[in-house]
Amino acid sequence: MERLVATAKANYPKVKTLGSEITMAKTDLSAAKISWLDPFSLQYVARSNQANTNAVNLTTADFLTGYQFGVNFNPGILFSKPGNIKKAKEQVKIAQANEEEYFIQLATMVKTRYFTYLQFQKSLVPINNAYSEAQINFNAIKNKYQKGEVTFLEFNSASTALNQAFQNKLQIEAGYLSAKIAIEELTVTRLEDIK
């Protein structure tokens, strides 16, 4: 049963999605940690140094020529950084907790479906035996009926018992196959390949 749970954890698509969510949350945390320089911005402007234009151009306000540098600082962004980092750390914890919770749910679903599978598997043997006995009994009664040794009522009763045993066999086999498919849905692997 533990192999089934391990196979489901390794193959089920939602598990991969949860793993990707953890990776994204860790990436966001890394980005938040290295974003301490965001409040600072450096700017520069290049103005032409043409010798023929010594006069001030009032339409463009070109007072200075050459390279001009400026630094901008936004303290509001700086003060929000610790909160953003804490939030990113909590997002990582939430993503990990969601994965752990889903692992518990997945293990429970696999085990429940496996127990149902075992129940139907164990029911197959007595149902097949009952069907075989009903078939043997029907054949014996049929031979006796053809010889005139039993009444039509006894023949009809044996035929009804055979049909009922066949219906029971079909129901158990359908339940068995459905339970098997339900497990294979979670493991994304055939049961024969796991054992």
Distance CA(60)–CA(26), nearest Å, equals 48
Spatial distance between the Cα atoms of 32 and 51, rounded to a whole number of angstroms: 48
Q: What SS3 state is found at 44?
A: strand
78 — pLDDT class (breaks 50, 70, 90) = confident
For residue 69, is pLDDT > 60?
yes
Mean pLDDT computed over 65-93: 79
**Candidate from 11-20, 74-83, 177-186 with smallest mean pLDDT:** 74-83
Encode pLDDT of 123-147 as tens digits: 999 999 999 999 999 999 999 999 8
Report the alpha-carbon distance of residue 76 to residue 79 in Å, rounded: 5
CA distance 160 to 134: 9
SS3 category, 140? helix
- The answer to whether 98 touches 21, Cβ cutoff 8 Å, is yes
pLDDT greater than 70 at residue 59: no
Domains and CATH numbers, the chain: 2-194 (1.20.1600.10)
The pLDDT of residue 60 is 56
Q: Give the chain's mean pLDDT.
A: 85
Residue found by looking up tokens 């009032």 in the block: 58
Residue 111: CB atoms within 10 A of its CB come to 15
**57: pLDDT strictly greater than 60:** no
CA atoms within 13 A on the CB side of 48: 9
CA distance readout (Å), 72 to 46, 62, 63, 69, 76: 17, 21, 21, 10, 12
Q: What is the pLDDT of residues 160-182, one digit of tens each?
A: 999 999 999 999 999 999 999 99
Torsions phi, psi of 156, nearest 5? -65, -40
Decide: 179 and 117 in contact? Cβ < 8 Å: yes
Tell me the average pLDDT across 85-101.
92
Amino acid at 142: K
Which H or E run contains 103?
helix 75-147
Residue predicted with more confidence, 173 or 56: 173
Average pLDDT for residues 183-190, to the nearest whole number? 89
